[in-house]
Structure 1
Amino acid sequence: MKKLLLNDGNELPIIGFGTYKSNEEEGVDAVKFALQNGYRLIDTAAFYFNEEAVGKGIKASGIPREEIIVTTKLWRDCLGYGSAKKEFEKSLKKLDLDYIDLYLIHWPANAKNYNNWQKANADTWRAMEELQAEGKIKSIGVSNFWQEHLDALFKTANVKPAVNQIEFHPGYWQPELTAFCQKYNIVIEAWSPLARGRVFDNKTLQQIAKNHNQSIAKVCLRWITQHHVVVIPKSTTHERILDNLNLFDFELTKEEMNLIDNLPEIGFSGELPNIWPERLPVD
């Protein structure tokens, strides 16, 4: 499978396995099945409340630990130096692992929720840098950080974020933020790659899928990978888990890429990092 080189020398497969909303029984089986069938990047978070299930699935898979890249995330209510270290240890214990491959700040502090949001993010990042130096984390990164949050973090960070995981799908792919991150060699990961299912009703995507005799889901995932972005689709259905992994037997043309790039907004979650926990109204 194609891999993307991170700015710290580590690599990420361009397709990972998402576990959001996977419950205990489903989660263990899905992670086990995904790993046994070729996935090597597993994405979870403290806020998903399934780290134990993910850890059990990893153990049950029989795949050597060193072959698996495990991502988890620090929730936004737990930012700060001491809190970050404490929450990291909780995640490590729940996953039943000796180290985490990729640890992300799930959402940045913002002016609505912190008197000094820049310091909250900087202190959190300092704790993560120390955990990385101790060998407990291989790569550190962020999630849902806009340029304003990254610019502020750059002022104090000794280690540049390796990854920024953002909402990225047809109809809402944040091209300016994507270009900014890629300029600074920060790999983008896409969450909600199928726009909460809204992509399936789009006529343009239906036609492109027909052109290639592929599903709309695979067209969307392929479009993401052709932007050199890591995609982490989630499913608990064995057939879909397998299907999502097989994206490279077709390629979208430049014209098709451009058509998808310019689709009107669809499927946007309403989640904005500068006003959480409020959401914008969405259709």
Structure 2
Amino acid sequence: MPVALKLDTTVKLPSGYTVPLLGLGVYQNDDCVPACLAALKHGYRHIDSARMYRNEDQVGQAVRESGIPREKVFVTTKIYDPDHGYESTLKVVDESLQRFGFDYIDLYLIHSPLSGKKRRLETWRALLDAQKAGKIRTVGVSNYGIKHLEEIREAGLAQPAVNQIEVQPFCQQRPIVEYCREHGIFVQAYCPLVRGRFDEPVLQEVARKYKKDVAQVLVRWSLQHGFSPLPKSARPERVVSNADVYDFQISEEDMAKLDALDKGAAGATSWNPVDAE
């Protein structure tokens, strides 16, 4: 991607809606209002939450306090596997709307495939129906491997617009990414900052070369691969710093060095349940 990429750069999803490439993750942030407000103040327009994070209400509060019109902020949430099932999913969607204080949710994801095929498909059908009802604009999945994506296709259902998976230089999930690109499924990258594993010499070398910190190099790597990175920080100053990635471009040679760090599944820093039954 060219260096002209900007913080407000968006991608059009199969649903017809657009999503800003760079988003703020709010996982394990018990009070995410300051981080969200800092992000929105400094140009972010994309926040990634989940029911499991227990902060949907805080995200909604921050959007309202920011003064930015609701339609200008793209908000994601997710349904965790204990809540899977058709009727329970419809109930959970309504609960999320109430917690956020929104009339609609931009993107609703199945958080993981851990509930098994039957309940996964029931949940997917419910999300599609909630989308038809106007409660959700775009539906997608998270932590889905190829077989999970294939079961949706084989059931004759609309495919996900998004698959949010762990993607970073140590864990590039190349077969899943390739499948998603072949089928028009947009890839969002969680854990793009490798949970602070910044002592890797190659990361430090590239950061020194571009006079950036390692976190900024990692976000830029993700953007140049066409992913939607969701860096998380509870510190407002780091939220701002993580977005300072639009005044440089990593060369093909240095991208190749970073790509060579891939360790497959062994490089994951999170749960990564893409092989769940």
TM-score normalised over the length of structure 2: 0.92
Matched with 1:15 is 22
Matched with 2:259 is 261
Distance 1:69 1:97 in 2: 12
- Are the equivalent residues in 1 in contact too, given 2:166–2:268 (CA < 8 A)? no
Matched with 1:205 is 203
- 2:254 maps to 1:249: no
Matched with 1:120 is 119
2:149 is aligned with what amino acid? Answer: L
For 2:107, what is the secondary structure of its paired residue? strand
The C-alpha deviation readout for 1:22-61, integer Å capped at 9, x for no partner, is: 113xx11221221122111111000001111111111111
- Are the equivalent residues in 2 in contact too, given 1:41–1:70 (CA < 8 A)? yes
For 1:38, what is the secondary structure of its paired residue? coil
TM-score normalised over the length of structure 1: 0.90
Distance 1:87 1:161 in 2: 19
Matched with 2:167 is 168
Distance 1:165 1:262 in 2: 22
1:18 is aligned with what amino acid? Answer: G
- Are the equivalent residues in 1 in contact too, given 2:193–2:218 (CA < 8 A)? yes
Unaligned runs of 5+ in 1: 277-283
Deviation at 1:96, TM superposition (A): 0.9
The C-alpha deviation readout for 1:100-136, integer Å capped at 9, x for no partner, is: 0000000014xxx5xxx32221111111111111111
- Are the equivalent residues in 2 in contact too, given 1:118–1:153 (CA < 8 A)? no
Matched with 1:280 is none
Deviation at 1:171, TM superposition (A): 0.5
For 2:76, what is the secondary structure of its paired residue? strand
The C-alpha deviation readout for 1:160-188, integer Å capped at 9, x for no partner, is: 21100001111111011111101111110
Matched with 2:4 is none
Distance 1:162 1:246 in 2: 28
Distance 1:50 1:196 in 2: 20
Q: Once structures 1 and 2 are overlaid, which stretch shifts more, 180-189 or 157-166?
A: 157-166
- 2:103 maps to 1:102: no
- Are the equivalent residues in 2 in contact too, given 1:121–1:153 (CA < 8 A)? no
Q: Once structures 1 and 2 are overlaid, which stretch shifts more, 221-230 or 5-14?
A: 5-14
Deviation at 1:275, TM superposition (A): 4.3
- Are the equivalent residues in 2 in contact too, given 1:126–1:157 (CA < 8 A)? no
1:166 is aligned with what amino acid? Answer: I
- 2:52 maps to 1:47: yes
- Are the equivalent residues in 2 in contact too, given 1:122–1:157 (CA < 8 A)? no
Q: Which has the higher contact order (CA 8 A, sep 6+)?
A: 2
Alignment of 1:223-242 (within 5 A): 223-242=221-240
Distance 2:126 2:270 in 1: 30
Distance 2:135 2:271 in 1: 34
Distance 2:70 2:262 in 1: 42
Q: How many residues align?
A: 267
Matched with 1:151 is 150
Distance 1:105 1:264 in 2: 26
Q: Choose the corresponding residue for 2:36, options 20, 31, 34.
A: 31
Deviation at 1:236, TM superposition (A): 2.2
Unaligned runs of 5+ in 2: 1-7
| Percentage identity across paired residues of the two chains | 39
